[in-house]
């Protein structure tokens, strides 16, 4: 997929060359953290930093568990035009208030400097080293926009209308499709009509993302996260049914096409050039459980969305010389989040399901030379495990405090009551998660997940709170940066 012009590539090469020169003195890894809405990006970054700064339990992160990592500290981020990731407020929400922090709605950065002793005898002779980890947090929905760079308005419009008519979407798309079908793309430009159609299209996208649908393929991404572009012409367009390719100047169809191209040039291309193309390594967080809750159509849609996201990366091993002018993402971790909502016996099944859904995209990345790993994660573990009795049967369960307002078996929880909960078992065969994909039916009621509050942190004998508990955060760190601390 060709997403850039020669001019874009030249700008990327110049920026990369400058950053590589700095890396000689101050080795740096730019780690991208992304995922679709509510996949846990903010929690992952907060837990990662909190565990490294406050001495967390990270046995699989070898340079840390063997004592070679001697400290970690936050420093001012390098990009003055990018908002700082609000680490302190997010920690306060998790630790003090026991609420989940607000979701990612824009790009942000955080710089973490890790001090370590090399495992190499030769490097030890030169003293201690540091690795600068620049963490770039951005919404996964923005990645779904990158394929738009290779499509004109007519192609995108046709695909978007067809998508709105697929199983699982007609109810959410009904109002938009009815109104869009009543207008003539070759009719005159009409600002009021354009705004009305864009509002209906946005409402359709928002309804798709609601829990009862849990759909994931929702470009353009900024329609749900407009920021300072809210109300601008670049966000006031929509797909139209019918022939739009030959709409003449002065018509509604040409107006929509012009604004679509503006969206690509004003929103999508700068994100790719200034942020996305500068990444070295990437973690993609996936909330597969929410899709499984909603049924096979949502699972299939998640698979399509994540395949698009993985297809947008520039994966591959980079040579020393080639790396002076271009960056390739040589390691991609796909994290199946909220593993604490399952008994550990189901974690392997969760990884296999995700591996099955993303197999073609993973294979392409590996063919290009990147290392790809899939791991069931819980950046902050909100539950513990136990056993519940069902008649004569003993069922492995999870124990935690549901969020206020969560409903299960007709009971609404107050956010204070702890429960023991059997969510059901994931299927042994990964392909069964897609069975009945052409149906609009919900998932089997025997398979259900609820959302839990962050845990009450344990304290030491001296009264100090321990670091945030997790599942496999140490495995994620080992894969993403372990080799850079050798």
Write out pLDDT tens, residues 439-462. Answer: 444 444 445 778 899 998 876 655
Please indicate, yes or no, whether residues 184 and 238 belong to a single structural domain of this protein.
yes
Please indicate, yes or no, whether residues 44 and 132 belong to a single structural domain of this protein.
yes
Please indicate, yes or no, whether residues 134 and 150 belong to a single structural domain of this protein.
no
Q: Which of 76, 144, 79, 142 is nearest to 278 (CA)?
A: 79
- Pick from 208, 240, 270: which residue ends a domain? 270
In this prediction, residues 307-334 reach a mean pLDDT of 70
CATH code at 35?
3.40.50.300
Could you tell me if residue 419 is inside a domain?
no
pTM: 0.85
Please indicate, yes or no, whether residues 246 and 281 belong to a single structural domain of this protein.
no
Q: Percent of the chain having pLDDT more than 90?
A: 51
Can you name the residues that pair with 355 across neighbouring β-strands? none
Please indicate, yes or no, whether residues 296 and 334 belong to a single structural domain of this protein.
yes
Please indicate, yes or no, whether residues 266 and 297 belong to a single structural domain of this protein.
no
Could you tell me if residue 412 is inside a domain?
no
pLDDT of residue 88: 95
Query: Total structural domains in the chain?
Result: 2
Question: Rounded CA gap, 297 and 274, in Å?
Answer: 35
Could you tell me if residue 193 is inside a domain?
yes
Please indicate, yes or no, whether residues 76 and 176 belong to a single structural domain of this protein.
no
Question: Rounded CA gap, 197 and 180, in Å?
Answer: 7
- Pick from 245, 270, 295: which residue ends a domain? 270
The secondary structure element, H or E, covering residue 32 is strand 28-35
Q: Which domain holds residue 213?
A: 146-270
Please indicate, yes or no, whether residues 10 and 107 belong to a single structural domain of this protein.
yes
Give tens-digit pLDDT for 245-293. Answer: 889 999 999 999 999 999 999 999 888 888 788 899 999 999 998 888 8
- Pick from 250, 270, 290: which residue ends a domain? 270
pLDDT bin (cut points 50, 70, 90) of residue 227 is confident
Please indicate, yes or no, whether residues 165 and 82 belong to a single structural domain of this protein.
no
31 contacts 335 by C-beta, under 8 angstroms: no
Give tens-digit pLDDT for 382-394. Answer: 999 998 887 788 8
pLDDT bin (cut points 50, 70, 90) of residue 432 is confident
Q: Supply the Cα-derived Rg of the chain in whole angstroms.
A: 24
pLDDT of residue 5: 56
Q: Which residues contact 89 (CB under 8 A, 6 or more apart)?
A: 101
User: How many Cα atoms within 13 Å fall on the side-chain side of residue 390?
Assistant: 10
Give tens-digit pLDDT for 124-168. Answer: 544 578 999 999 998 888 888 888 888 999 999 999 999 999 877
Please indicate, yes or no, whether residues 55 and 188 belong to a single structural domain of this protein.
no
Could you tell me if residue 280 is inside a domain?
yes
Please indicate, yes or no, whether residues 129 and 210 belong to a single structural domain of this protein.
no
Question: Rounded CA gap, 348 and 299, in Å?
Answer: 18
Please indicate, yes or no, whether residues 206 and 266 belong to a single structural domain of this protein.
yes
Question: Rounded CA gap, 408 and 416, in Å?
Answer: 15
Could you tell me if residue 133 is inside a domain?
yes
pLDDT of residue 219: 85
């Amino acid at each position: 997929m060709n997403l850039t012009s020669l001019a874009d590539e030249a700008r990327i090469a110049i920026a990369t060359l400058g950053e590589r020169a700095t890396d000689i003195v101050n080795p740096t890894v730019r780690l991208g953290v992304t995922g679709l809405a509510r996949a846990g990006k903010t929690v992952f970054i907060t837990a990662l930093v909190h565990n490294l700064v406050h001495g967390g339990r990270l046995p699989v992160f070898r340079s840390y568990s063997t004592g070679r990592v001697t400290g970690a500290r936050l420093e001012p981020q390098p990009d003055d035009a990018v908002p700082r990731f609000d680490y302190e407020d997010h920690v306060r929400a998790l630790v003090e208030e026991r609420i989940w922090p607000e979701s990612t709605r824009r790009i942000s950065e955080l710089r973490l400097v890790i001090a370590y002793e090399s495992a190499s005898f030769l490097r030890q002779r030169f003293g201690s080293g540091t690795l600068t980890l620049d963490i770039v947090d951005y919404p996964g929905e923005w990645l779904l926009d990158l394929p738009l760079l290779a499509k004109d308005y007519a192609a995108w419009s046709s695909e978007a209308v067809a998508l709105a008519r697929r199983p699982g979407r007609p109810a959410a798309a009904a109002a938009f499709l009815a109104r869009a079908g009543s207008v003539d793309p070759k009719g005159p430009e009409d600002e009021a009509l354009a705004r009305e159609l864009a509002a209906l299209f946005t409402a359709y996208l928002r309804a798709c993302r609601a829990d009862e649908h849990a759909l994931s393929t929702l470009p353009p991404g900024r329609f749900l996260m407009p920021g300072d572009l809210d109300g601008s012409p670049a966000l006031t367009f929509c797909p139209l049914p019918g022939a739009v390719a030959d709409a003449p100047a002065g018509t509604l169809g040409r107006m929509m096409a012009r604004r679509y191209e503006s969206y690509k040039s004003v929103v999508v291309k700068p994100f790719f050039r200034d942020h996305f193309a500068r990444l070295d390594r990437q973690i993609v967080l996936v909330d597969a459980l929410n899709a499984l809750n909603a049924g096979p159509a949502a699972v299939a849609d998640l698979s399509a969305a994540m395949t698009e996201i993985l297809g947008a990366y520039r994966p591959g091993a980079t040579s020393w010389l080639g790396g002076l002018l271009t960056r390739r993402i040589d390691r991609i971790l796909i994290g199946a989040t909220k593993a604490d909502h399952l008994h550990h016996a189901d974690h392997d099944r969760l990884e296999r399901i995700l591996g099955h859904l993303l197999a073609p995209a993973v294979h392409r990345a590996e063919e290009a030379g990147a290392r790809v790993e899939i791991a069931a994660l819980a950046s902050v573990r909100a539950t513990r495990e136990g056993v519940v009795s069902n008649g004569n049967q003993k069922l492995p369960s999870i124990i935690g405090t549901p969020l206020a307002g969560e409903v299960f078996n007709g009971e609404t929880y107050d956010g204070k009551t702890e429960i023991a909960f059997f969510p059901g078992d994931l299927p042994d065969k990964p392909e069964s998660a897609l069975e009945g994909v052409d149906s609009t039916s919900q998932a089997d009621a025997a398979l259900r997940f609820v959302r839990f509050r962050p845990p009450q942190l344990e304290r030491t004998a001296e009264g100090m709170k321990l670091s945030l508990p997790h599942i496999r955060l140490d495995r994620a760190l080992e894969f993403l940066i372990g080799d850079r601390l050798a």
